[in-house]
Amino acid sequence: MHKDIKNILVSEEKLANISKELGKKISEDFKDKTPIFIGLLKGCNPFLSDLLKNITIPCEVDYMRVSSYIGTESKGSITIVNDITTNVKGRDVIIVDDIVDTGRTTSLIKNLFEQRDAKSVTLCCMLDKTEGRVVDVDVKYIGTNVPNEFVVGYGLDYNELYRNLPYIGVLKEKVYNK
């Protein structure tokens, strides 16, 4: 285990199972469709890579980089740092992100794709931090729940570090208090 990690919450083995099960479920639910997976960078990687290996129906993939902030309105807004190049009008879109915490990012992204006239917008997140929820958002596909602690690994970062860890772990407090 990495020296900065207090404990492992989701093991490599469990992560592999999550991708397998979600991939199977999505493939069944979208049978006879050709959905577009849209990964939210940077955190969606490597979850999306593993998920895609378990998708057995025709599909497309694109990536987007966004940063969300809350304006004076409670709704908040989103800044697109890098947009997708696919036209989503009339298409079934599946948004893939690392974690849903307050729900702001996923909720704003869902609205964005609805405005772009996608036929359907479905959310898929590897982790769900339910205790952090501020905005009510329907995430159809969830890998697993995590407690209200700062987690890193498997795409998730702290100051851009730890994305490369093969598991999800809780960061030691002393790392923040440096």
Which of Mg ion, ligand IMP, none lies near 50, with the C-beta cut-off 5 to 8 A by kind? none
User: Please, what's the b/e burial string for 25-43 (b: 16 or more CB within 10 A of its CB; e: otherwise)?
Assistant: ebeeebeeeebbbbbbbeb
Q: Is 101 in the site for ligand IMP (CB under 6 A)?
A: yes
What's at 36, amino acid-wise?
A: I
**Distance between CA atoms of 104 and 68, rounded to whole angstroms?**
8
Site for ligand IMP in 105-164 (CB under 6 A): 105-106, 129, 150-152, 156
Q: Is 169 in the site for ligand IMP (CB under 6 A)?
A: no
Q: Which residues contact 6 (CB under 8 A, 6 or more apart)?
A: 169, 170, 171, 172, 173
Please say if 101 is a catalytic residue.
Answer: yes
Which range, of 4-12, 13-21, 91-99, 116-124, touches ligand IMP by CB under 6 A? 91-99
Query: Is the previous residue joined to 46 through a cis bond, with omega within 30 degrees of 0?
Result: yes
Active-site entry in 101, 117, 128, 157: 101
Which of ligand IMP, Mg ion, none lies near 128, with the C-beta cut-off 5 to 8 A by kind? none
Q: Is 39 in the site for Mg ion (CB under 5 A)?
A: no
What's at 53, amino acid-wise?
A: K
Residues that bind Mg ion (CB under 5 A): 43
Question: Which residues are catalytic, by number?
Answer: 101
